[in-house]
Amino acid sequence: MKVELSHIYKSFGNVKANYDISMTVEAGTVYGILGENGAGKSTLSKVLSGFITKDSGKIVLDGMEVDIKTPADAICAGIGMLHQDPLDFPSLSVLDNFMAGRSALGKKRGKKRAETSSNRADLIRELRQLSATFGFDLPPNDRLSNLTVGERQQLEILRLLSLGVKTLILDEPTTGISASQKTALFIAVKQLAADGKSIIFVSHKLEDVEELCDRLMVMRQGKVIGEAEVKGRESNELAASLVDMMFGRELAIPAKHEINIQQTEPALVIQDLQIDGDRLSLQLDKLTVNEGEVIGLAGLEGNGQQLLLLACAGLLKPNAGKIRISDVDMTNRAYSNFLKAGIGYLPADRLQDGLILGLSIHEHFMLRQSHSGFFINWRDTRQFAHQAIETFNIRGKPSTKVERLSGGNQQRTQIALLPDRLNLLLMEQPTRGLDIESTLWIWKQMMARCEKGMMILFTSSDLDEILQYSDRILVFCGGKVSQLIDAKTLTVDKLGQAIGGKFA
Ligand SMILES: Nc1ncnc2c1ncn2[C@@H]1O[C@H](COP(=O)(O)OP(=O)(O)OP(=O)(O)O)[C@@H](O)[C@H]1O
Ligand SMILES: [Mg+2]
């Protein structure tokens, strides 16, 4: 299906999220949308998929103008969107999620039972057949919350395809999924394009765009900055011109973090730790982390990395073992003691665990501040929020509710809310959804904190990020810690093998 957008405008108050956007996606091609955080990529995707109503402009599909006001209108017209933050139902089963949207669509299309069939056996068969086409493995009766982010994405794509979608919008689909899931996703996308579907691929990652897209456009501050052909271009030359279009200048990569362990003290000591999670028990015999050291936790999602972070943050009680921080035994102590000991935690799911929906940036800072007496000093906290917005370059106002921020700006807000002085920072996917410039900026801040002695334990699905910033890497494989490796001795390939249980 050929998709043409012409002169799309959308403002939120005085924010011009989309300003005079025109683009054409040919059938059977993958079209990339690149741009810094807050550039307007998700807004444009939501306009096309009916989640946001445009102020003005035209949407033309295969030469016919269509009026898209709701997601159901979009699906009827053949357009579906995989959202940056999932919109699925974690407490329901895989099959129930697969069925979502069918009956409403059936009514809209004026059909009685045809594709709205509630016959579970038929649906299971359909799900299995579709899964097999793409090599996905999605057990129909499992609870969705037991699936990884990558599997949830796979299911959502299959659901949209089963609803007859011919244009698929993928909003930052490669953040937070494993390398092998990314490979599976890319194969699926190429297969869909070869079948004549049009794919709109929103991303921050130049290498992903280079690998997958035929053409792309770059957005900045709600506008189209330029379009480029991807196929046949030389990689370095393309990357340089895209960075220039996105940020208007070249970016400096910060120097690799290096620490001389002999010169610093062990400040986090973990011994004989055993933690029970829903799906697995994690066993860690010994880990000693020195002041200023960065430990990357590498492994496929759900192999115990999160359990270790939660236990070190005081959010999950281990069954056995000891955690000592700066010579204080923290085992089985209350969460408030962990906070007092200078331990910070940055969760991966910013909307579920990190931020409070419905509250503004200002209100978040109010909650973070300690207040003496009965009254809240709103003026001071407003001032504080203003400052943080400036320092962390958050595109929003103190009164902006966090759910209205763009994905990357939500992540900046989470990071801005961390206490200034920390001894140990535990981070899950710290740069998920951040543009390249922000990623570099965040790590520069983190490295400066490490120079002063702060320790970091972090997970990332991006192996380059783990290699770039870790001193040592703890490899999780098959639900246990398999190796602790000096990052200097590794390459991405070797790390990939270690995660797969091959390299020793
Ligand atoms: N519902 C809303 N209400 C008010 N402002 C909004 C709303 N949705 C988006 N915005 C604003 O519109 C601008 C564009 O946001 P959008 O989410 O489209 O950016 P993005 O390019 O997807 O960024 P990111 O890479 O961070 O996801 C931002 O300034 C954002 O704060
Ligand atoms: Mg976005």
Residues 187-197: tens digit of each pLDDT: 999 999 999 99
- Can you read off the two tokens belonging to residue 199? 């794919």
Going 215 to 49 to 129 to 174, the CA torsion angle's sign is positive
Q: Could you tell me the distance, in angstroms and rounded to a whole number, from the CA of residue 171 to the centre of ligand 2?
A: 7
CA-nearest residue for atom 25, ligand 1, is: 37
**How many angstroms separate the CA atoms of 339 and 313, rounded?**
8
Task: Note the pLDDT of residue 497.
Answer: 85
CA-nearest residue for atom 3, ligand 1, is: 404
What lies within 8 Å, CB to CB, of 418 at 6+ separation is 344, 346, 425
- Statement: residue 485 has pLDDT above 60: yes
Q: Please name the residue ranges forming H helices in 283-406.
A: 305-313, 335-340, 361-368, 378-391
Which residue type is seen at 382? R
Ligand 1 atom at minimum distance from 396 CA: 31
Please indicate whether residue 331 or residue 371 has the higher confidence score (pLDDT): 331
- Can you read off the two tokens belonging to residue 213? 């897209």
- Can you read off the two tokens belonging to residue 143? 């609870």
- The residue whose CB lies within 8 Å of the most ligand 1 atoms, and thus the one to mutate among 9, 11, 12, 434, is 12
- Can you read off the two tokens belonging to residue 24? 């054409």
Choose among 350, 270, 341: nearest CA to 308: 270
Ligand at minimal distance from the CA of 223 is 1
* DSSP H or E stretch at residue 440: helix 436-451
25, 201 in Cβ contact below 8 A?
A: no
Q: Which residue has the tokens 């939660």?
A: 310
34, 218 in Cβ contact below 8 A?
A: yes
Kindly report the number of other CB atoms within 10 A of residue 435's CB atom: 21
pTM above 0.85? no
* DSSP H or E stretch at residue 281: strand 281-290
What is the per-residue burial (b if ≥16 Cβ within 10 Å, else e) of 225-264?
A: beebebeeeeeeebbeebbebbbeeeeeeeeebebebeee
Q: Could you tell me the distance, in angstroms and rounded to a whole number, from the CA of residue 15 to the centre of ligand 1?
A: 9
- Statement: residue 116 has pLDDT above 60: no
Mean pLDDT of the chain: 89
What lies within 8 Å, CB to CB, of 76 at 6+ separation is 105, 108, 109
Q: Could you tell me the distance, in angstroms and rounded to a whole number, from the CA of residue 460 to the centre of ligand 2?
A: 19
* The Cα angle at residue 182 between residues 178 and 185, in degrees rounded to 5: 140
Task: Note the pLDDT of residue 114.
Answer: 45
Q: Could you tell me the distance, in angstroms and rounded to a whole number, from the CA of residue 231 to the centre of ligand 1?
A: 29
CA-based max dimension of the chain = 73
Average pLDDT on 61-84 reads 94
Ligand 1 atom at minimum distance from 84 CA: 27
Please indicate whether residue 135 or residue 309 has the higher confidence score (pLDDT): 309
- The residue whose CB lies within 8 Å of the most ligand 1 atoms, and thus the one to mutate among 19, 43, 201, 441, is 43
318, 274 in Cβ contact below 8 A?
A: yes
Q: Could you tell me the distance, in angstroms and rounded to a whole number, from the CA of residue 405 to the centre of ligand 1?
A: 5
Task: Note the pLDDT of residue 104.
Answer: 67
Strand stretches in 320-459, DSSP E: 320-325, 328-329, 343-346, 424-428, 455-459
- Statement: residue 112 has pLDDT above 80: no
What is the set of domains in the chain, with CATH numbers? 3-247 (3.40.50.300), 261-342+419-499 (3.40.50.300)
Ligand 1 atom at minimum distance from 409 CA: 26
Reported as a single tens digit per residue, the pLDDT across 338-383 is 999 999 999 988 888 899 999 999 999 998 877 677 788 888 888 8
Q: Could you tell me the distance, in angstroms and rounded to a whole number, from the CA of residue 123 to the centre of ligand 2?
A: 32
Q: Could you tell me the distance, in angstroms and rounded to a whole number, from the CA of residue 172 to the centre of ligand 1?
A: 14
41, 213 in Cβ contact below 8 A?
A: no
Reported as a single tens digit per residue, the pLDDT across 157-175 is 999 999 999 999 999 998 8
- Statement: residue 146 has pLDDT above 70: yes
Q: Could you tell me the distance, in angstroms and rounded to a whole number, from the CA of residue 434 to the centre of ligand 2?
A: 9
CA-nearest residue for atom 19, ligand 1, is: 38
Choose among 322, 323, 280: nearest CA to 303: 280
168, 180 in Cβ contact below 8 A?
A: no
- Can you read off the two tokens belonging to residue 345? 């935690």
**How many angstroms separate the CA atoms of 91 and 405, rounded?**
26
Q: pLDDT above 70 covers what percent of the chain?
A: 93
DSSP code at position 20: E
- Can you read off the two tokens belonging to residue 105? 């669509």
Task: Note the pLDDT of residue 261.
Answer: 62
**Straight-line distance from the first to the last Cα atom of the chain, in angstroms, rounded to the nearest whole number:** 49
- Can you read off the two tokens belonging to residue 61? 């599909």
Ligand 1 atom at minimum distance from 45 CA: 18
Ligand at minimal distance from the CA of 33 is 1
* CB-based pocket (< 6 A), ligand 1: 12, 15, 17, 35, 37-43, 84, 395-396, 404-409, 433
Q: Could you tell me the distance, in angstroms and rounded to a whole number, from the CA of residue 121 to the centre of ligand 1?
A: 41
What is the per-residue burial (b if ≥16 Cβ within 10 Å, else e) of 376-411?
A: eeeeebbebbeebbeebebbbebebbbeebbbbbbb
Average pLDDT on 76-86 reads 91
Which residues partner with 298 through β-bridges? 475
Task: Note the pLDDT of residue 387.
Answer: 93
Q: Please name the residue ranges forming H helices in 3-148.
A: 41-48, 71-76, 94-99, 102-108, 120-134
Please indicate whether residue 295 or residue 104 has the higher confidence score (pLDDT): 295
The residue count of the chain comes to: 504
Please indicate whether residue 105 or residue 65 has the higher confidence score (pLDDT): 65
Q: Could you tell me the distance, in angstroms and rounded to a whole number, from the CA of residue 116 to the centre of ligand 1?
A: 34
461, 429 in Cβ contact below 8 A?
A: yes
138, 93 in Cβ contact below 8 A?
A: no
Q: pLDDT above 90 covers what percent of the chain?
A: 59
311, 275 in Cβ contact below 8 A?
A: yes
Ligand 1 atom at minimum distance from 411 CA: 26
Ligand 1 atom at minimum distance from 35 CA: 21
- The residue whose CB lies within 8 Å of the most ligand 1 atoms, and thus the one to mutate among 10, 14, 15, is 15
* Burial category of 298 from C-beta neighbours within 10 Å (exposed 0-12, middle 13-18, buried 19 and up): buried
Ligand at minimal distance from the CA of 83 is 2
Reported as a single tens digit per residue, the pLDDT across 8-41 is 999 999 899 999 999 999 999 999 999 988 999 9
CA-nearest residue for atom 2, ligand 1, is: 404
Ligand at minimal distance from the CA of 411 is 1
Ligand at minimal distance from the CA of 218 is 1
Q: Could you tell me the distance, in angstroms and rounded to a whole number, from the CA of residue 396 to the centre of ligand 2?
A: 14
- Statement: residue 252 has pLDDT above 50: yes
- Statement: residue 82 has pLDDT above 70: yes
Q: Which residues have CB atoms below 5 A from the ion given as ligand 2?
A: 42, 84, 406-407
**How many angstroms separate the CA atoms of 208 and 189, rounded?**
12
Helices (H) and strands (E) in the chain, counts: 17, 20
What is the per-residue burial (b if ≥16 Cβ within 10 Å, else e) of 275-285?
A: beeeeeebebe
